[in-house]
């Protein structure tokens, strides 16, 4: 397996905690990443003071950067940021628990370019942590403060994290979150008096969040199977209910506001402000990419979440690779190594472990002229990030026979909605990737 820049992928050191401290002097730059634009020269306006963002994945951090870019007014007259962009639709790595300020140096006495502090609630998964480290460097290069929390590093970590964040939560006038389904985030919301809340995309989960909010339902992830009434659920229920109330806009005239910044096709429930994420920051910062002749396939974690059968999935990938002449497979950060080794052996595809979210990898290039994916976030985000580049994005539907017995009853309908609402993509029928699985598969 290789990294996205062509180097052999090296697994993170076991038990790696927070990103290493950087040496004094000129900060290390990310290979292949262009230097950020001078924010002072763009006429960017500062964000409201004490804006606090919580992220748990690289995509969430990317979308916080996109939100801050739009909120700061640097997207140009139409918010697009690049000549080929469509008009906007209506509506260092750091030590644990420490804040690392912006890379840029302001003149003495001048106000900071932004008042955004991004809190990374680091997960256990090494691939996710690695991408978060890279995204944290990009956030600092944009002038934002980043605070890395090993929020899951042992039995005492949650209380230590919450205790350390309480002063920031009390002072924050605006809270930005990436995952409203996260119990960690829900707990932190109950401690924050801020009346202005913003939810940025956490992939296709945003579609389910908006739908559940509109129906007045409990916030439950779409792929979760079961009643959600276990001992831990009952213990956490008061915090979940309180968080859901915080995420519900106040009636007309109320002081509590809720906004959603999304690239997903969502309709705003009453009182919720929707702003469109057109990936203006990504398009201004990266690319355009060099295109290759071969196609690329984008992986998903549908097997790891128990939705799709392993053998059916691998057979579908093999069929798509042969049909479309694909040579590379961009692995999802949650895909298991043993599955990827089997995929590489059985399909002959080169497995690439991206070190950044795929929207940035694709925009940086090189990337195939055709990108094939199963139902996932990228069928909504890549057409926006790659607008004007000549790259085609195609999505292959999931056949109902691929689902496991453990799949949620809502799984098929949700996956159909993901593909059916995607704009600017070619839709491939599941028959284009269906073939008989190996003997003994099921």
Q: What is the pLDDT of residue 174?
A: 94
Q: What is the pLDDT of residue 366?
A: 97
Q: What is the pLDDT of residue 122?
A: 93
Cα separation, 195 vs 122, in Å, equals: 26
Do 229 and 347 meet the contact criterion of CB atoms below 8 Å apart? no
Residue 217 CB burial class (10 angstroms; 0-12, 13-18, ≥19): exposed
Q: What is the pLDDT of residue 96?
A: 43
Query: Helix/strand/coil (H, E, C) string of 80-121?
Result: CCCCCCCCCCCCCCCCECCEECCCCCCCCCCCCCCCEEEEEE
Q: What is the pLDDT of residue 73?
A: 54
Collapse the DSSP code of 291 into the 3-class scheme (helix H, G, I; strand E, B; otherwise coil) and give the result.
Answer: strand
Residue 229 CB burial class (10 angstroms; 0-12, 13-18, ≥19): exposed
Cα separation, 327 vs 10, in Å, equals: 21
Using the predicted structure, report yes or no on whether residue 233 has a pLDDT greater than 90: no
Is the full-model pTM beyond 0.95?
no
Q: What is the pLDDT of residue 34?
A: 58
Using the predicted structure, report yes or no on whether residue 308 has a pLDDT greater than 90: yes
Using the predicted structure, report yes or no on whether residue 381 has a pLDDT greater than 90: yes
Using the predicted structure, report yes or no on whether residue 433 has a pLDDT greater than 50: yes
Using the predicted structure, report yes or no on whether residue 49 has a pLDDT greater than 60: no
Do 56 and 179 meet the contact criterion of CB atoms below 8 Å apart? yes
Residues 6+ apart with CB under 8 A from 373: 297, 298, 300, 379, 382, 393, 394, 395, 396
User: Which of 17-21, 152-156, 393-397 has maximum average pLDDT?
Assistant: 393-397
Q: Which of these ranges, 114-123, 250-259, 291-300, has the smallest mean pLDDT?
A: 250-259
Domain boundaries, the chain: 40-104+111-281, 286-433
Q: What is the pLDDT of residue 434?
A: 60
In tens, the pLDDT along 83-94 reads: 333 333 332 334
Q: What is the pLDDT of residue 431?
A: 63
- Listed residue (139, 134, 128) closest to 331, CA to CA: 128
Q: Which of these ranges, 17-26, 353-362, 422-431, has the smallest mean pLDDT?
A: 17-26
Using the predicted structure, report yes or no on whether residue 100 has a pLDDT greater than 50: no
Do 219 and 244 meet the contact criterion of CB atoms below 8 Å apart? yes
Q: Once rounded to an integer, what is the mean pLDDT over residues 121-144?
A: 94
Do 305 and 223 meet the contact criterion of CB atoms below 8 Å apart? yes
| 209 phi/psi in degrees, rounded to 5 | -60, -50
Q: What is the pLDDT of residue 267?
A: 84
Q: Once rounded to an integer, what is the mean pLDDT over residues 255-283?
A: 90
- The more confidently predicted of residues 382 and 109 is 382
| Torsion, CA 204, CA 207, CA 210, CA 212, rounded to 10 | -100
Q: Once rounded to an integer, what is the mean pLDDT over residues 324-338?
A: 96
Q: Where does the pLDDT of residue 95 fall: very low under 50, low under 70, confident under 90, or very high at 90 and above?
A: very low
In tens, the pLDDT along 179-207 reads: 888 888 888 988 889 989 999 987 777 88
* Options 1.10.10, 2.40.10, 3.40.50, 1.10.12; CATH of 286-433: 3.40.50
Q: Once rounded to an integer, what is the mean pLDDT over residues 285-294?
A: 96
């Amino acid at each position: 397996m290789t990294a996205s820049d062509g180097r052999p992928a090296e697994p993170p050191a076991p038990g790696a905690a927070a990103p290493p401290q950087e040496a004094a002097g000129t900060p290390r730059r990310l290979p292949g990443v262009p230097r950020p634009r001078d924010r002072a020269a763009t006429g960017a306006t500062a964000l409201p003071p004490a804006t606090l963002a919580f992220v748990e994945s690289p995509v969430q951090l990317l979308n916080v950067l996109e939100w801050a870019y739009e909120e700061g007014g640097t997207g140009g007259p139409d918010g697009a940021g690049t000549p080929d962009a469509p008009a906007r639709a209506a509506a260092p790595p750091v030590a644990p628990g420490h804040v690392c300020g912006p890379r840029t140096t302001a003149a003495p006495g001048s106000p900071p370019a932004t008042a955004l502090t991004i809190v990374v609630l680091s997960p256990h998964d090494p691939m996710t942590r690695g991408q978060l480290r890279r995204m944290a460097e990009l956030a600092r290069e944009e002038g934002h403060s980043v605070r890395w929390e090993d929020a899951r590093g042992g039995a005492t970590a949650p209380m230590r994290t919450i205790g350390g964040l309480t002063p920031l939560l009390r002072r924050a006038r605006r809270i930005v979150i990436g995952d409203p389904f996260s119990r960690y985030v829900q707990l932190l919301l109950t401690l924050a008096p801020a009346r202005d809340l913003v939810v940025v995309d956490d992939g296709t989960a945003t579609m389910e969040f908006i739908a559940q909010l509109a129906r007045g339902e409990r916030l439950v992830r779409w792929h979760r199977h079961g009643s959600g009434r276990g001992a831990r659920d009952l213990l956490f229920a008061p915090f979940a209910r309180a968080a859901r109330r915080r995420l519900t806009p106040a009636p007309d005239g109320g002081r509590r506001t809720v906004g959603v910044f999304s690239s997903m096709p969502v309709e705003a429930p009453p009182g919720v402000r929707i702003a469109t994420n057109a990936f203006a920051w990504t398009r201004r910062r990266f690319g355009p990419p060099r295109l290759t002749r071969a196609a690329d396939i984008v992986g998903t974690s549908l097997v790891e979440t128990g939705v799709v059968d392993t053998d059916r999935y691998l057979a579908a990938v093999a069929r798509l690779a042969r049909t479309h002449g694909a040579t590379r497979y961009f692995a999802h950060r949650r895909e298991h190594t043993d599955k990827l080794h089997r995929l590489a052996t059985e399909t002959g595809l080169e497995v690439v472990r991206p070190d950044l979210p795929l929207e940035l990898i694709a925009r940086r290039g090189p990337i195939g002229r055709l990108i094939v994916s199963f139902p996932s976030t990228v069928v909504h985000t890549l057409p926006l990030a790659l607008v004007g580049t000549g790259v085609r994005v195609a999505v292959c539907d999931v056949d109902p026979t691929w689902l496991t017995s453990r799949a949620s009853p809502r799984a098929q309908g949700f996956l159909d909605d993901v593909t059916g609402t995607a704009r600017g993509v070619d839709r491939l029928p599941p028959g284009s990737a269906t073939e008989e699985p190996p003997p003994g598969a099921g």
